[in-house]
Structures are given as structure tokens and as C-alpha cells.
């Protein structure tokens, strides 16, 4: 039986030391598009290609808004997180589909030294370790199939008060087998109702169907010509999209940057005439073809 692989294992402290989180801007997407951070951390956007900016849309009370100029390769911008809550932002020239977010939580007196997701009986098996706990109530396990929208799938009681090493685990027995990637996070709650989010972990399901493109929408494409592509990538790479007409003539070639997991890309078809087209997607030797209609 082929084994699923453990993806993204590392040991991290949940403490007050500021961390810098890098978001790459390229090919009409922010990568990663969603992050869990702590108050005091720094978000650093780095422009890898295209003409984009980053601008806050909704922010927590007490936080500062931001809006950078539209720029391209080589530009960077840093923002220090000063308030807990969810921050939503966008690229102004591509508002509506080029979106990103991060959620900041305060620091709880919990030292989480390990959080892994591995395979047990073809199911994701989550394990984590605490070195010390104070007033900890419980851990909420949350799952996502796109890395952005998380749903609670279970709770694990915490030790409460402990200076010793504690080991915890959770088996996700209900994960959908048709998804190649699944995201997990822990929400740590104390007895006063305060919470802190762990970093997001990615689980790679090697038993699932190895589908490259999971969604192409809208289809038919509207007159504006904005086509959203959701696709999987096993490693950092580039998705090549070749657009041809019914005669086979190549009209457009687009390169979409990809990170491991679920990716969101964009192809602008506004300059094409109304009609039926074929898009040939290629990534790391795998090719898929999709037909689309332009109104």
C-alpha cells in the first residue's frame, strides 16, 4: 500500500518573538493567500511579477490601514501587525478576484513545540506537543479544503496547568478522499475564552486522484474576460496555460506561479473575440485540456 507523505513538518515556538511572513505577489495571486500570525509579527509582500499592489479592505479596530502603489518585480512592502483579528486585503487593479487575508491572535501562555500531520490508516493523523501550559482549556481542530475557509472538526481537552511535556493527537476519520490537499490548524483556547491560532499545516493525500486543474470559472467567460483557475501543485513551480482556437491556432500563453497545495490563478481573456477556445494546462509533465466559451 502506497503511503501518504507527511508534509511540512517543523518545530515552532508560540511565543512573543516577532516573525516575518513572506507573501509573494505574481500572476494575479497572493501566495500564500491566507496566514495565521501573532500580534507583533511582520507581513512582507514581495513582487515577483505583474503590475499589482496590496491594500487593506477590512482590518480590526486599532489596526492601521495600508495601500501600496502599483508596482512590479523587485518591490517589497512590510506591515507590522498591531491588533488581533482578521485582515482582508486585495490588489486594487484586480479587486474582486486577487484577494488575501491573515488572522492575528494574541500570545497565550502555551509553548507548542511541534505540530505534524501524517498518515494513519489512509487518514490524516494530527499530533502536537506542548512544553508548558497555563490556564489552557482545549484545542479546537479545524480543517480546510482550500486553505482559506476552515471548519471545526473536533476538540481535544488540554492539561490546563502543566510544566511537563504533553502529547496530543487527533485522527481525521471523515476527510474527503477526492481532495489531494487538506489544510489543518489548531485553535488553542484558554479558560477565559482567549485563543491563539497555530500555523497552517498542509496534508498531501497520495491516495487521491492526481487531478491538476480542479476548477475553471466562470464558464462561459463574461465579456470582461476574467477566468479563475484553481489548480494543484506538488512543489514550487509554474503552470503553463496555452489558449488556442478551434483551428488549433495558439492565441495566448500564460505562466502561473504555483506553491505546494491548492493554487488560485487568473487568465485575462478580455481581448479575445466571442467563441469557443481550448486551454491546455501543463505542470511538471502533467497536462490537462479544458474547453471554455467566451461571450
Query: pLDDT tens digit string along 237-273?
Result: 999 999 999 999 999 999 888 889 999 888 889 889 9
163 φ/ψ sector (left φ>0, alpha ψ -120 to 50, else beta): alpha
Query: pLDDT tens digit string along 13-29?
Result: 444 478 999 999 987 88
Query: pLDDT tens digit string along 165-208?
Result: 999 999 999 988 889 999 999 999 999 989 999 999 999 988 78
The chain-wide mean pLDDT, for the chain, equals 89
Query: What mean pLDDT do residues 57-81 have?
Result: 96
Q: How far apart are alpha carbons 212 and 233 in whole angstroms?
A: 7
Q: List Cα–Cα distances, 259 to 221, 242, 262, 267, in angstroms.
A: 26, 20, 8, 17
Instruction: Quote the longest CA-to-CA distance of the chain.
Output: 70
* Chain centre distance of CA 114: 20
The CATH code for residues 213-294 is: 2.60.40.2550
Quickly name the fold that domain 110-204 has: Immunoglobulin-like (2.60.40)
Total-model pTM? 0.84
Query: pLDDT tens digit string along 114-125?
Result: 899 998 888 999
pLDDT at residue 47, as a whole number: 95
SS3 of 181-225: the string is EEEEEEEEEECCCCEEECCCEEEECCCCCCCCEEEEECCCECCCC
- Domain-by-domain residue ranges, the chain? 20-105, 110-204, 213-294
Identical fold between 20-105 and 110-204: yes
The CATH code for residues 20-105 is: 2.60.40.420
Q: How far apart are alpha carbons 185 and 270 in whole angstroms?
A: 38
DSSP state letter for 39: T
pLDDT at residue 150, as a whole number: 97
Amino acid at each position: 500500500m502506497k503511503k501518504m507523505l507527511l508534509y511540512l513538518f517543523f518545530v515552532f515556538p508560540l511565543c512573543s518573538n516577532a516573525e516575518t511572513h513572506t507573501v509573494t505577489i505574481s500572476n494575479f495571486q497572493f501566495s500564500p493567500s491566507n496566514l495565521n500570525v501573532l500580534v507583533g509579527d511582520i507581513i512582507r509582500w514581495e513582487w515577483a511579477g505583474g503590475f499589482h499592489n496590496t491594500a487593506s479592505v477590512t482590518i480590526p479596530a486599532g489596526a492601521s490601514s495600508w495601500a501600496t502603489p502599483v508596482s512590479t518585480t523587485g518591490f517589497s512592502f512590510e506591515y507590522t501587525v498591531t491588533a488581533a483579528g482578521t485582515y482582508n486585503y486585495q490588489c486594487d487593479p484586480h479587486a474582486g478576484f486577487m484577494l488575501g487575508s491573515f488572522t492575528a491572535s494574541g500570545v497565550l501562555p502555551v509553548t507548542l513545540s511541534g505540530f505534524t500531520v501524517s498518515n494513519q490508516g489512509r487518514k490524516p493523523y494530527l499530533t502536537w506537543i506542548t512544553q508548558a501550559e497555563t490556564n489552557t482549556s482545549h484545542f479546537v481542530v479545524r480543517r480546510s479544503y482550500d486553505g482559506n475557509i476552515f471548519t471545526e472538526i473536533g476538540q481535544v481537552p488540554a492539561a490546563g496547568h502543566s510544566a511537563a511535556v504533553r502529547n496530543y493527537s487527533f485522527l481525521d476519520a471523515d476527510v474527503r478522499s477526492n481532495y489531494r490537499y487538506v489544510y489543518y490548524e489548531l485553535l488553542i483556547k484558554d479558560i477565559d475564552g482567549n485563543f491563539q491560532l497555530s500555523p497552517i499545516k498542509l496534508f498531501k493525500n497520495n491516495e487521491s486522484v492526481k487531478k491538476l486543474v480542479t476548477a475553471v470559472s466562470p464558464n462561459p467567460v463574461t465579456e470582461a474576460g476574467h477566468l479563475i483557475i484553481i489548480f494543484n501543485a506538488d512543489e514550487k513551480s509554474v503552470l503553463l496555460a496555452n489558449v488556442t482556437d478551434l483551428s488549433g491556432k495558439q492565441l495566448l500563453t500564460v505562466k502561473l506561479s504555483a506553491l505546494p497545495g491548492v493554487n488560485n490563478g487568473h487568465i485575462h481573456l478580455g481581448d479575445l473575440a466571442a467563441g469557443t477556445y481550448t486551454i491546455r494546462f501543463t505542470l511538471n509533465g502533467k497536462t490537462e485540456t479544458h474547453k471554455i466559451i467566451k461571450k
